[in-house]
Chains A and B, each alone.
Chain A
């Protein structure tokens, strides 16, 4: 149980284009999901908290107009990187809050974004 998937696993795009990343909880409903960014050889940094049916909560320094988050259902959250630039290249990881264990997040396999 508690499986989280992400799609795509890798994406390469041109500078200025937008990229959408999907995060799905496969065997449970998640009212809360999280989006993280991880640069090479660094830790995970929380970008935003995605809440089903309401607006996402962004961490300080994260541009909400650049990183659009939509949590339209209890099993799907999407992150759209708008007008991507090379500095947005990173490993993006989502997690979903499991209802079975208190305060426990289960992570997706991550999406490697490369902006040329």
Chain B
């Protein structure tokens, strides 16, 4: 099945550092979402974006819906050890179908 390209694939950072990751596609999406998945658990919704150019924050997390509608970015400020996990982007191409296409994931490890 199709997947969205996420980068970086994995990253090790020091506690307190800021983190940036992105998700790109060759197709236009109407909705972008960011999820975090801990080992052995289901994904948890972090941020949902519904309009091109939209910038939305959730605590230390900020995500943007790219103006071309083909990409999205997630930033985490002042990382802490509990930020460790796998971050997935998901895109919805057409409103009404509700189906998501998931990204390949970014594995984040925070060094205390």
Q: Are A43 and B41 in contact (CB-based, < 8 A)?
A: no
**Measured CA separation A77–B7 after assembly (Å):** 34
Cα A95 to Cα B31 with chains together (Å) = 17
**What does DSSP make chain A's interface, helix, strand, loop or mixed?**
strand
Q: Does A76 contact B (CB under 8 A)?
A: no
**Given A44-B88, A93-B42, A110-B42, A103:B103 Cβ within 8 A:** no
B42 and A108 form a contact (CB under 8 A): yes
Contact B98 A49 (CB under 8 A): yes
In the complex the two chains form, what is the Cα distance from A101 to B56 in whole Å? 15
The residue from A43, A91, A97, A103 contacting B104, defined by CB atoms under 8 A apart: A43
Docked-complex contact A110 and B1, CB < 8 angstroms: no
B41 and A109 within 8 A (CB): yes
Residue of B1, B3, B40, B98 touching A59 (CB-CB under 8 A)? B1
* Interface magnitude class on chain A: 20 to 34
B43 in contact with A44 (CB, 8 Å): yes
Q: Is the CB of B103 within 8 A of A32?
A: no
Decide: B102 and A97 in contact? CB cutoff 8 A. Answer: no
User: B1, B40, B44: which contacts A107 (Cβ < 8 A)?
Assistant: B44
Q: Is the CB of A110 within 8 A of B48?
A: no
Known: A59-B1, A101-B48, A102-B50. A107 touches B98 (CB 8 A): no
Name B1-57 residues within 8 Å CB distance of A: 1, 3, 31, 33, 35, 40-45, 48, 50
Residues of A within 8 A of B (CB): 4, 6, 32, 34, 42-46, 49, 59-61, 91, 93, 95, 97, 101-110, 112
